Amino acid sequence: MTSPVIVALVGNPNAGATTLFNALTGAQEAVANYPRVTTEIASRDIVHRGIALRIVDVPGIYSISSQSPEEQAGCDYLHQQEPHLIVNILDAGRLDRSLFLTTQLIETGLKRVTVLNMVDEIERSGTSIDTGMLASALGSPVVETCGLRKKGIAELLDAIVDSVQAPAGAPVRLHYDSHLEQSIVRIQDHLARLHPRQMEPAHSRWLAIKLLEGDDRVIRAESDHAPLLEAVQKECADLAHEHDEDTATMLAAARFAFSHGLLREVRTQSSDPTAGFKLTRVLDDIFLNRSLGLPLLLGILWVMFQTTFSLGAVPTEWIKSGVAVITEYATATLPEGMVKDLLINGVLAGVGGTIVFLPNIIILFFFMAILSGTGYLARASFLMDRLMHHFGLHGTTLIPMVAGFGCNVPAVMATRIITNKRARLIAMLIAPFMNCSARLPIFILFAGAFFADIAGTVVFAMYMASIGAAMLSAVMLNRVIPGSGGDAFVMELPPYRLPTLHSVLHHMWDSAQGFVAKVTGVILVGSIVIWFLQEFPRDIAFSQDFDTAIAQLEEQPDSPEKDESLHILKATQAQEKLEKSYLGRVAITVSPVFQPLGFSWRDTAAILTGFVAKEVVVATYAVIYAQDKESEGLSETLRAAMPVSTAVAFMIFTLLYAPCLSTIAIIGRESKSWGWAGFSVGYSLAFAWALAMIASRVGDLFL
Amino acid sequence: MASNERVERLTLADLRPDQQAEIVRIESQDAVFKRRLTSLGVVPGAPVVLDRSAPLGDPRIYTLMGSSLGLRNSEARNIQIHLK
Ligand SMILES: Nc1nc2c(ncn2[C@@H]2O[C@H](COP(=O)(O)OP(=O)(O)O)[C@@H](O)[C@H]2O)c(=O)[nH]1
Ligand SMILES: [Mg+2]
CATH of the domain at A14: 3.40.50.300
8 Å CB contact between A140 and A88:
yes
Mean pLDDT, rounded, for A256-261: 94
8 Å CB contact between A42 and A120:
no
**Maximum CA extent, chain A:** 111
- Cα separation, A589 vs A574, in Å, equals 19
Could B35 and A389 be called an inter-chain contact, meaning their C-beta atoms sit closer than 8 Å?
no
The pLDDT of residue B81 is above 50:
yes
8 Å CB contact between A69 and A425:
no
Cα dihedral A209, A215, A218, A224, rounded to 10, equals 100
Write down the H helix ranges in A139-288: 153-165, 178-194, 201-213, 216-221, 226-243, 247-266, 278-287
8 Å CB contact between B45 and A75:
no
| Host domain of residue A555 | 540-580
Residues 6+ away with beta carbon under 8 Å from A695? A645, A648, A649, A652
- The better pLDDT of the pair B47, A41 is held by B47
Q: Are residues A50 and A115 in the same domain?
A: yes
Q: Are residues A317 and A464 in the same domain?
A: yes
Q: Is residue A383 part of a domain?
A: yes
8 Å CB contact between A28 and A506:
yes
**pLDDT band at residue A69 under the 50/70/90 scheme:** low
Residue of B nearest to A69 (CA): B32
Q: Are residues A157 and A35 in the same domain?
A: yes
Which among A253, A288, A378 has the least Cβ separation from residue B45? A253
The pLDDT of residue A270 is above 80:
no
**pLDDT band at residue A631 under the 50/70/90 scheme:** very low
- Cα separation, A687 vs A477, in Å, equals 12
Instruction: Provide the shortest C-alpha distance from residue A58 to chain B (in Å).
Output: 18
**pLDDT band at residue A33 under the 50/70/90 scheme:** low
Mean pLDDT, rounded, for A481-497: 78
Q: Are residues A209 and A239 in the same domain?
A: yes
Could A100 and B35 be called an inter-chain contact, meaning their C-beta atoms sit closer than 8 Å?
no
The fold adopted by the segment(s) B10-83 is SH3 type barrels. (2.30.30)
Q: Are residues A549 and A460 in the same domain?
A: no
Mean pLDDT, rounded, for A529-538: 79
- Cα separation, A228 vs A118, in Å, equals 43
Among the listed residues A105, A148, A135, the one whose alpha carbon sits nearest the alpha carbon of residue A16: A148
User: What pLDDT shows up at residue B1?
Assistant: 43
Q: Ligand 1: which atom is nearest the Cα of residue A500?
A: 25
Q: Is residue A45 part of a domain?
A: yes
As a whole-number percent, the residues of chain A with pLDDT over 70 amount to 93
The pLDDT of residue A356 is above 60:
yes
The pLDDT of residue A702 is above 90:
no
Enter the pTM of the model: 0.81
Could A489 and B35 be called an inter-chain contact, meaning their C-beta atoms sit closer than 8 Å?
no
User: What pLDDT shows up at residue A57?
Assistant: 93
8 Å CB contact between B39 and A66:
yes
Among A313-317, A446-450, A527-531, name the most confident range.
A446-450
Q: Helices A616-624 and A560-580 meet at what angle, rounded to 10?
A: 120
**CA count, 13 A, side-chain hemisphere, A19:** 28
φ, ψ dihedrals at A111, nearest 5°: -65, 140
Instruction: Kindly report the average pLDDT of chain A as a whole number.
Output: 85
Q: Are residues A387 and A302 in the same domain?
A: yes
Q: Ligand 1: which atom is nearest the Cα of residue A22?
A: 15
- Cα separation, A112 vs A85, in Å, equals 6
Q: Is residue A646 part of a domain?
A: no
**CATH classification of the domain holding A191:** 1.10.287.1770
Could A493 and B69 be called an inter-chain contact, meaning their C-beta atoms sit closer than 8 Å?
yes
Q: Are residues A262 and A127 in the same domain?
A: no
Instruction: Provide the shortest C-alpha distance from residue B42 to chain A (in Å).
Output: 9
Mean pLDDT, rounded, for A167-189: 90
Among the listed residues A581, A700, A582, the one whose alpha carbon sits nearest the alpha carbon of residue A642: A700
User: What pLDDT shows up at residue A45?
Assistant: 92
Q: Are residues A236 and A332 in the same domain?
A: no
Could A97 and B67 be called an inter-chain contact, meaning their C-beta atoms sit closer than 8 Å?
yes
Among A247, A290, A490, which would you mutate to test the B interface (most chain B Cβ atoms within 10 Å of its Cβ)? A490
A13 CA distance to ligand 2 centroid (A)?
A: 7
Q: Are residues A459 and A319 in the same domain?
A: yes
**pLDDT band at residue A629 under the 50/70/90 scheme:** very low
User: What pLDDT shows up at residue A286?
Assistant: 95
Q: Is residue A171 part of a domain?
A: no
Q: Which of chain B's residues have a Cβ under 8 Å away from the Cβ of A245?
A: 25, 44
Could A294 and B71 be called an inter-chain contact, meaning their C-beta atoms sit closer than 8 Å?
no
Please tell me if the CB atom of residue A15 comes closer than 6 angstroms to any atom of ligand 1: yes
Write down the H helix ranges in A519-581: 524-535, 546-555, 560-580
DSSP state of A523: I
Residues 6+ away with beta carbon under 8 Å from A189? none
User: What pLDDT shows up at residue A414?
Assistant: 75
Which among A101, A378, A489 has the least Cβ separation from residue B71? A489
User: What pLDDT shows up at residue A309?
Assistant: 66
Number of structural domains found in chain A = 4
Task: Decide which of A480, A515, A549 is a domain's last residue.
Answer: A480
Q: Which of chain A's residues have a Cβ under 8 Å away from the Cβ of B36?
A: 62, 66-68, 488, 490
Q: Are residues A376 and A411 in the same domain?
A: yes
Number of Cβ within a 10 Å radius of residue A214 = 19
The pLDDT of residue A87 is above 50:
yes
Instruction: For ligand 1, atom 9, name the residue with the nearest CA.
Output: A16
Q: What is the pLDDT of residues A435-461, one digit of tens each?
A: 887 787 788 888 888 998 888 888 888
Please tell me if the CB atom of residue A504 comes closer than 6 angstroms to any atom of ligand 1: no
Q: Is residue A494 part of a domain?
A: no
Q: Which of chain B's residues have a Cβ under 8 Å away from the Cβ of A386?
A: 54-59
Note whether B28 contacts A: Cβ–Cβ < 8 A.
Answer: no
The pLDDT of residue A242 is above 50:
yes
The pLDDT of residue A630 is above 50:
no
8 Å CB contact between A431 and A424:
no
Q: Is residue A561 part of a domain?
A: yes
Note whether B36 contacts A: Cβ–Cβ < 8 A.
Answer: yes
